[in-house]
Amino acid sequence: MKRRTLLAQTGLGATALTAAATVKVAAQAPVSSPSQPAIRWRMATAFPKSLDIMFSTIESLCQQVSDMTGGKFVITPYPVGDIAPAAKVLDTVTEGTTECGCTISLYYTDRIPALGFTGGIPFGLNAQQQNAWLFYGGGLEATQKIYRTLGLINYPAGNIGGQMGGWFRREIETVDDLKGLKIRIAGLGGSLLKRLGAEVQILGPDEILPALVAEKIEAVEFLGPYDDEKLGLHKATRYYYSPSWWEPGASNELLINLNQWQTLPQDYQTILQLAATEAHHKLLARYTAANSAALERLLANGVQLKTFSPEFVQATYQAAVAMYEELASQDPQFREVYQPWKAFRSKIHKWNRVNEMGFATFAFNAGN
């Protein structure tokens, strides 16, 4: 009875109901039977425990799976570095060292650029649009096709939402200021900055502050105020920029070894999808609630809030479009995801101009 209640209340909470995947599987979600096997998995993650919202949401995902199977399916998450560094979580799961992992695809776009669409790309979709694309716009099916070639299956497991544009030791006014800039940034945002002359490094969360202190880098793109404060980035840099045009709606993923996935009983598969979907929406809600207060604390500690100039954003937008068109012309896998994604973005932008833009512009400027 307890498992049945959890399936009804936990997997079908208000946040999870917003996703098609949850609605579809929850309506027929089986309850784990006493005869089901006991299974123990390990999960490598790309995140340290110090990022408490991120890591506790992953722990909650794993706890949901245990609760809904009566303790028979147990997944133990490990912080970054315990099993693998951030950039190697995918390999760990592909090779079967662990059965699953929680990471963000931005660490792997140097190998497969099309994976950037799940993690977030420059001038891409915001959080709500990203969820619409993944669950209702064919995004999950398109990216699962790519991951299957790697022996994996993926599910969204944490929408991070709107972020910040990063930390800089000197002011950024034009794209020329990017030339020679030593910056930590992953994904296609990193590829774009390389094209604009920056010296890009891909570092895991646990590696960023030491690199800043040692002056191996002079700028950092990471997440939002809450996690950036947790990492102590304000202690080593001065200027905090917005907006985050390189990842407007980033999402984490649950990666599962395909062979291990196929050995799971069907109800275990359903339960794991339910737990991942709830974690996906819960993470967005938690960050949305926490980032405002964290930004206020940072500003009170002397951080200087800056905004990228319209000229800078326009120049980087044009460079991003050129990069995507070039990738689409050269990489069939990228083109297969990009063309329908671009059409989806065009349609949803038309709708959001009507239903959101006018009100948001007024509300944000109206004050309290």
Q: Which pLDDT value is given to residue 12?
A: 36
- Residues 80 and 170 occupy one common structural domain: no
Q: Are residues 39 and 139 in the same domain?
A: yes
Strand order in the sheet with 39-45: 73-78, 39-45, 100-103, 250-257, 152-161
Among candidate residues 239, 267, 289, the one where a domain is terminated: 289
Structural contact between residues 164 and 240, judged by C-beta atoms closer than 8 angstroms: yes
Among residues 332, 339, 253, 242, the alpha carbon closest in space to that of 291 is found at: 242
Residues 238 and 314 in one domain: yes
Over residues 57-79, mean pLDDT: 98
**Tens digit of each residue's pLDDT (9 = 90 or more) over 290-309:** 999 999 999 999 999 999 99
Q: Quick check: is 176 in a domain?
A: yes
- 95 has a pLDDT exceeding 50: yes
Both tokens of 341, joined, read 């994604």
312 is in an annotated binding site: no
**pLDDT higher than threshold 70 for residue 82:** yes
Read off the pLDDT of each residue in 179-191 and give the average, rounded to a whole number.
Answer: 96
Phi, psi angles (nearest 5°) of residue 80 = -55, 135
Residues 70 and 204 in one domain: no
Q: Tell me: do 178 and 319 sit in the same domain.
A: yes
Task: For residue 26, give its domain range.
Answer: 2-160+250-289
pLDDT tens digits, one per residue of 296-345: 999 999 999 999 999 999 999 999 999 999 999 999 999 999 999 999 99
83 and 19 in a single domain? The answer is yes
- Same-domain pairing of 327 and 281: no
Q: Would the pTM count as exceeding 0.85?
A: yes
Report the residue count for the chain: 368
Q: Say which CATH number the domain at 220 has.
A: 3.40.190.10
Q: How many domains does the chain have?
A: 2
Confidence of residue 3 (pLDDT cuts 50, 70, 90): very low
Q: What is the pLDDT of residues 110-145, one digit of tens each?
A: 999 999 999 999 999 999 999 999 999 999 999 999
Indicate whether 364 belongs to any domain: no
| Domain shared by 170 and 41, yes or no | no
Least confident range from 15-19, 36-40, 122-126, 346-350: namely 15-19
pLDDT digit string (tens) for 216-252? 999 999 999 999 999 999 999 989 999 999 889 899 9
The model's confidence at residue 25, banded by pLDDT at 50, 70 and 90, is very low
* Residues 109-141 as b or e (16 or more Cβ within 10 Å = b): bbebbbbbbbbbbbbbbbbbbbbbbbbebebbe
70 shares its domain with 190: no
- The more confident residue out of 357 and 117 is 117
Percent of the chain with pLDDT over 70: 90
Does 2 have pLDDT greater than 90?
A: no
Whether residue 352 lies inside any domain: the answer is no
Contact of 79 with 101, CB cutoff 8 Å: no
Place of tokens 């297969």: 336
- CATH number of the domain where residue 39 is located: 3.40.190.170
Q: Residue 3 annotated as binding?
A: no
130 within a domain of the structure (yes/no)? yes
For residue 222, say whether it is annotated as part of any ligand binding site: yes
- In a shared domain, residues 265 and 301: no
Angle between helix 127-136 and 139-148 (nearest 10):
70
At residue 99, the 3 state secondary structure works out as coil
Mean pLDDT value across the chain? 91
- Is 280's pLDDT higher than 70? yes
Are 201 and 258 part of one and the same domain?
no
Is 47 assigned to a binding site?
Answer: no
Task: Answer whether residue 111 is part of any domain.
Answer: yes
pLDDT-derived band at 32 (thresholds 50, 70, 90) equals: low
Tell whether 247 is in a known binding site.
Answer: yes
Residue 290 pLDDT: 97
Task: Please tell me the number of Cα atoms within 13 Å of 147 on its side-chain side.
Answer: 29
Tokens of 46: 């790309």
> Do residues 235 and 300 share a domain?
yes
The pLDDT score that the predictor gives to residue 364 is 85
